[in-house]
Copies of this chain bind each other. A is one copy, B any other.
Amino acid sequence: MSLRFAVPHARKLLIAHLLASLTAAGLAQAAPVAAKAAPLKSKQTMADLIKASSATDWRPLNPDNTLYMELEKGRVVIELAPDFAPNHAQNIKALVREGYFDGLAIVRSQENYVAQWADPDEKREIKTAKRKLDGEFTVKYASSLPFTRLPDVDGFAPQVGHANGFPAGRDPKAGTAWLTHCYASVGVARGTESNSGDGTSLYVVTGHAPRQLDRNITVVGRVMQGMELLTTLPRGKGNLGFYEKAEERTPIKSIKIAADVPEAERSKLEIIRTDTATFKSIVEAQRNRGGDWYKVPAGYIDLCNVPVPVRAQK
């Protein structure tokens, strides 16, 4: 398969060139010849912009807010967003520090929806963390919360954009903001009552963004590396994709906070700073593609399609 475009190494980049290798020989089909649209201008791609970026366009993940979920097949790196869910972030860290998650399991993998982890036996004691928390479905946002607004309309929120790397919605009239349910968003599973989610069971969005969940459940962070460890899990055959048999559940060896892990064992990652000109250019490069493969630029991008590149620290 001939590949005609270099691909940057950052995993989170979406490259939209689909190539097929074809011989030039063969009969052209007799068909009306459509008027050819003018080719799109060549312009900097996201890969070009990343290559040209400066060190200050990136920030390291915050080790105090970064979780490492260790699975047999590798590590899932999650960064928490205390700006949006301070109490849940705090409680999850408390649960992590008391070893709550160690030895638990992935209990659910539902096609085009979520993977979820929890105590499958529902019997593990909580020692110091809280068992009940009021939902943090939205937060009142301070004017100091950095928010880089997307230029485009969004049907689920009055405004959308990025805050410190996290995709978010905002309602200026209500003064509230919330993290949106994009691919890789991590949320706090709950029952019917708004205060029934405490962080003992978390889920991650693995398919098309289920934005109808926004403002209905606490979103607490984002998977920054290791998504494929979760998206490729066999689907559970029970209701809602829950696994029915213990042997189907992928064990969680441990979850640790990066700051508690010896520095040599940390995943040294950095994420683009979404309040930079580089990021705005990346958004625009994705909104309006140039070059010779695309024929029609979209002139629009939806929040959950905006790539927020993560890479190994330079």
Contacts and interface: CB of A to CB of B under 8 A. Distances in A.
Interface of A: 1, 3-4, 6-7, 11, 14-23, 25-29, 31-34, 87, 107-108, 110-114, 116, 118, 120, 122, 126, 130-134, 137, 152-153, 155-156, 182-183, 187, 189-192, 194-198, 200-201, 203, 207-217, 227-228, 231-235, 238-240, 242, 286, 289, 292-296, 298, 300-302, 304-305
Contacts of A131: 22-23, 25-27
Given A18-B189, A189-B20, A87 B155 contact: no
Contact of A212 (B4, B22, B107, B289): B289
B137 A212 contact: no
Nearest 4 interchain pairs by C-beta: A26-B131, A155-B300, A20-B189, A20-B201
Contacts of A7: 239-240
Contacts of A152: 155
A33 to B, nearest CB: 8
B116 A18 contact: yes
Contact of A114 (B18, B112, B113, B298): B18
Contacts of A235: 228, 232
A55 to B, nearest CB: 26
Copies in the complex: 2
Contact of A191 (B20, B33, B209, B286): B20
A17 to B, nearest CB: 7
13 contacts: A1-B107, A18-B217, A20-B190, A29-B87, A29-B133, A112-B227, A155-B301, A182-B208, A194-B295, A207-B207, A212-B298, A212-B301, A216-B295
Contact of A210 (B16, B156, B228, B295): B16
A217 B212 CA distance: 29
A200 B19 CA distance: 11
A275 to B, nearest CB: 23
A184 to B, nearest CB: 8
A213 B16 contact: yes
A168 B195 CA distance: 40
A108 B120 CA distance: 34
Contacts of A134: 29, 31-34
B112 A14 contact: yes
A178 to B, nearest CB: 10
